[in-house]
Amino acid sequence: MGGPEMAPHTPQRSAPPGKAGGRLGRLTLLSPRSARFGPLTLLSPRSARLGRLAPLILIVAGLLLGCPDPAVEAAAKLRVVATIPDLKALTEAVGGDRVEVDALARGTQNPHDLEIRPSLMVKLRRADALVVNGLELDSWAEVAVHGSNNGRIITGAPGYIDASRGIQPLEVPSGRVDRSMGDVHPLGNPHYTLDPGQAPAITATILDGLARLAPEHRATFERNRQAFLARLEQAMARWNATMGPLRGAKTVAYHNDWVYLFTRFGITQVGTIEERPGIPASPAHLARLIRTMKEQAVKAVVVEPWSDQQLAGRVARETGARLVVLNAKLGQSSGPDAYIATTDANIAALSAVLR
Ligand SMILES: [Zn+2]
């Protein structure tokens, strides 16, 4: 192989074909002139020898000119990190096989409150893009990004994608929020990913972000997104049919994270077990809540996997409501339809206790 004909090439990525000089002059096989005549029409004994080497030369040329090559393509996948699994699933739905996505928080962890471990910084160090929920749900990610020392994904960098950009936040405080009180929703309710009706806006923002980093794949991202939204629309018809007869049903949530989903399907949230987002219930608050729940015949207490199940169970027992644990974040499932599958499970569980 090779011998004197195939000296190791020197990196001259920007050199135009046929003008690279020296041994790279062999690339004249690919020059516009020889392409016009077709490389094989010019075969002299010397170029016949080159002809045998043509596949190799093409590979070298491909590497030099940045042409597609399977190994190069695999390495060219965008490495994306999402703060929460919901955004991982939606990024996979848009990015398809052009992305490799990892999530920082697991499905069983409270997304408000994640311990920053060195393993998170390792994930972030190699990332081309970071997808955040925003609205201060995952502001802990800033600390992890800082620790990762990766300038490509800091706030405002091209690789920083804030999925809340196209969302109309609910429950935006009208006055100034005193953060010293510990309220964890100072910019409005950040749990919009739990409402499947927000997925078109979220995926549009993700698409913009991915296409900023890999403009050559924009059409693929658009196709992937459209296919996902078509499947989502079918599922939405199913969810509307299930939830339609339950409009006006009354619930209490442990943490205030279902308001987007409840608003979508006309479910009334009478109150929350937490006194305010992130602030535990005082005895006086619980007494008031239980009285209201009895008066209004609240049917269900909705609780997240990481909240105090015992307290939620006690409130449900005392008021005759039914207790239901919903997936307030995607579980371990992955793939483009994990988002739809999780919403399916939530709608099934919620509708069962509201009937
Ligand atoms: Zn919250």
pLDDT tens digits, residue range 111-161?
999 999 999 999 999 999 999 999 999 999 999 999 999 999 999 999 999
Q: Helix, strand or coil for residue 122? A: helix
- Ligand 1 centre to CA of 87 (Å) is 16
Q: Token pair for residue 209?
A: 């972000």
Q: What are the sequence ranges of the domains in the chain?
A: 3-72, 76-236, 244-354
Q: Helix, strand or coil for residue 322? A: strand
Predicted confidence band of residue 11 (pLDDT cuts 50, 70, 90): very low
Pairwise pLDDT comparison (14 vs 89), residue with the higher score: 89
Predicted confidence band of residue 9 (pLDDT cuts 50, 70, 90): very low
What sign does the dihedral 65-69-71-72 (CA atoms) show? positive
Q: Please write the tens of the pLDDT for every residue from 232-286.
A: 999 999 999 999 999 999 999 999 999 999 999 999 999 999 999 999 999 999 9
Beta strands 78-82; 99-103: pairing state: parallel
Question: What DSSP assignment string belongs to 109-145?
Answer: S-TT-----HHHHHHHHT-SEEEE--TTTTTHHHHHH
Residue 192's nearest CA partner among 222, 175, 168 is: 168
At 224 the pLDDT is 97
End-to-end CA distance of the chain: 75
Task: Give dist(CA 126, CA 139) in Å, integer.
Answer: 20
- Ligand 1 centre to CA of 188 (Å) is 9
Contact 160, 132 (CB under 8 A): yes
- Ligand 1 centre to CA of 187 (Å) is 11
Among left, alpha and beta (phi > 0; psi -120 to 50; other), residue 22 is left
- Strand stretches in the chain, DSSP E: 78-82, 99-103, 129-132, 160-162, 250-253, 268-272, 300-303, 322-325
pLDDT-above-70 percentage for the chain: 76
Task: Give dist(CA 212, CA 105) in Å, integer.
Answer: 25
Least confident of 4-8, 167-171, 254-258, 288-292: 4-8
Q: Please write the tens of the pLDDT for every residue from 173-195.
A: 887 766 666 789 999 999 999 99
Residue 135's nearest CA partner among 92, 170, 86 is: 170
- Ligand 1 centre to CA of 110 (Å) is 9
Whether the domain at 76-236 and the domain at 244-354 fall into the same CATH topology: yes
* Averaged pLDDT score across all residues of the chain: 83
- Ligand 1 centre to CA of 136 (Å) is 9
- Ligand 1 centre to CA of 186 (Å) is 10
Task: Give dist(CA 80, CA 209) in Å, integer.
Answer: 11
Q: Which of 3.40.630.10, 3.30.460.80, 3.40.50.300, 3.40.50.1980 would CATH assign to domain 244-354?
A: 3.40.50.1980
Task: Give dist(CA 23, CA 5) in Å, integer.
Answer: 8
Residue appearing with tokens 């009354």: 250
Residue 162's nearest CA partner among 197, 190, 194 is: 190
CATH fold of 76-236? Rossmann fold (3.40.50)
- Ligand 1 centre to CA of 137 (Å) is 7
- Ligand 1 centre to CA of 325 (Å) is 16
Residue 75: CA count within 13 A, CB half-sphere: 6
